[in-house]
Amino acid sequence: MCIRDSTCGYQWERLDCDTSEISAIQGSNKSTYTSTVHDAGKRLRCCCTPRSLDGQIGEAVFTGWSNTIKLPVPAMAEVTLSGQAKEGKSLTAVATFEQSRTVPGGCLIEYQWTVAHPDKNSPTKPPPKQYPNKPTLQLTVDESGHNVACSATPVCDGQRGMSVASASKLVLPAEPRASQCTITEQSGTYKLGYRYRGGVEGLSQFQWYRKPSPDMKVTPSGDREEWPITAATGASYRPTADDDGCLLQCRLTPVREDGVQGIGVVAGPCKVNMFGDTESEARAMVARGSCELSLSQVDGAETIPKKLQVFEDRLKIQDAAGNKTEAKGSFSPQFKVHVDPVVVTRLTIQFDPTRRVEFEASSAEERDRAALVIRAFIASHKGN
């Protein structure tokens, strides 16, 4: 605002819009005046008093009131990031202003967080995400392995100042860890569910275990491989005859994509109850005193159909027609039935440490049925 008559005396005044109080602004006796933070929210005018060349003073004239003065937007000097740039931690943007000016009342700062791949030419992009307009950002797996920066923009009375961006920081992944581990059964297969955290998951490690249940009527003997279970190293496991009535557990070791391992966690135990019908059938066979099973004997690359005759105290291996007995043995502490942990259709009958015969079943279910039936006869014999 300017009054050009150089023969006038000037005095700028300030109007408080809330109280209607008018006050003279000290030191404002020139034709121009630059508003300050003290004028924010107020209105200004100038009193002009004419003076003749011989010193006579005329009647004072007032200008009209200006519009309400808006706050000047403070100039921002820099934005820095404090905190640990690591998944699970947080970063806070700290904005400072030129000449150590603080943010005046009525002003605010808008924050915009950005996430980018460290390699600008990489086709990999961070997942789209809406970041809050806040000075603090909680870092998650979405930011892990990416550069994070924040720009701050001062805003006063609707006027936006110049945005200033911080230097970027590379977010490191957290140590791999797993939680909420549970074992569920679906269609005869037990599956481990869990929640992974700590960067991008790599080839996490699994190991299933079995152990006798406290309420088992027959404690597993040497014919059952107890824990850990050979070849049971995936996120899912289909129980075999060896697991009948046992407790299953799974140990998970979380592994990050760069090979770093976390602390292992164990899920379970859960009891295997998927052979109830087979157990009932086996008990009925034991009650009758004998049963007949059809399996194929493994002879090198060939399989030869055989008939197994199981009695209260012994087992016979016959040809498919049942006309010739090819091997037999009485139940003893050395008589064992082993199920193959890798080839799920095979089992081995061990008459004694020197005589073992390997058999092939038509399916994993048929293999397990045969093992459970023979073991039921063995258990019945031991119980007598």
What is the C-alpha to C-alpha distance for residues 157 and 71, in angstroms, rounded to an integer? 6
For residues 85 and 227, the model is more confident at 85
Residue of 45, 25, 46 lying closest to 36 (CA atoms)? 25
For residues 5 and 51, the model is more confident at 51
Q: 240-298 pLDDT, tens per residue? A: 888 888 899 999 999 998 899 999 999 989 888 777 777 788 888 888 888 999 999 99
Tell me which residue has tokens 């048929």: 366
Task: Give residue 59's pLDDT.
Answer: 87
pTM of the model: 0.59
Calculate helix-pair angle for 364-383, 276-288, nearest 10 degrees. 50
Residue of 186, 99, 193, 81 lying closest to 143 (CA atoms)? 81
For residues 54 and 81, the model is more confident at 81
The burial of 302, by beta-carbon neighbours within 10 Å (0-12 exposed, 13-18 middle, 19 or more buried), is given as: exposed
Evaluate the CA torsion angle 234, 237, 242, 246 in order and state its sign: positive
**Which residues contact residue 71 at a Cβ distance below 8 angstroms, ignoring those fewer than 6 apart?**
37, 40, 41, 104, 106, 107, 156, 157, 159
Q: How many CA atoms lie within 13 A of 42 on its CB side?
A: 20
What would you report as the CA-atom Rg of the chain, rounded to the nearest whole angstrom?
43
- Using alpha carbons only, what angle is made at residue 42 by residues 41 and 46, rounded to the nearest 5 degrees? 155
Which one of 40-44, 103-107, 110-114, 319-323 scores highest in mean pLDDT?
A: 110-114
What is the C-alpha to C-alpha distance for residues 152 and 137, in angstroms, rounded to an integer? 13
What is the C-alpha to C-alpha distance for residues 267 and 192, in angstroms, rounded to an integer? 8
What is the C-alpha to C-alpha distance for residues 80 and 57, in angstroms, rounded to an integer? 58
Burial 313-328 (b: 16+ CB within 10 A, else e): ebbbbbeeeeeeeeee
Task: Give residue 225's pLDDT.
Answer: 56
Question: To 10 degrees, the CA torsion angle through 375, 380, 382, 384?
Answer: -170
Task: Give residue 192's pLDDT.
Answer: 96
Task: Give residue 69's pLDDT.
Answer: 83
Task: Give residue 226's pLDDT.
Answer: 60
What is the C-alpha to C-alpha distance for residues 228 and 253, in angstroms, rounded to an integer? 15
Q: 161-219 pLDDT, tens per residue? A: 889 999 999 998 889 999 999 999 988 899 999 999 888 899 999 999 998 877 655 44
Q: Is the pLDDT of residue 130 over 90?
A: no
Which one of 104-108, 220-224, 361-365, 374-378 scores highest in mean pLDDT?
A: 361-365
Q: How confident is the model at residue 101 (pLDDT cuts 50, 70, 90)?
A: low
Q: Is the pLDDT of residue 6 over 80?
A: no
Q: Is the pLDDT of residue 7 over 80?
A: no
Reduced to 3 states (helix: H, G, I; strand: E, B; else coil), residue 275 is coil
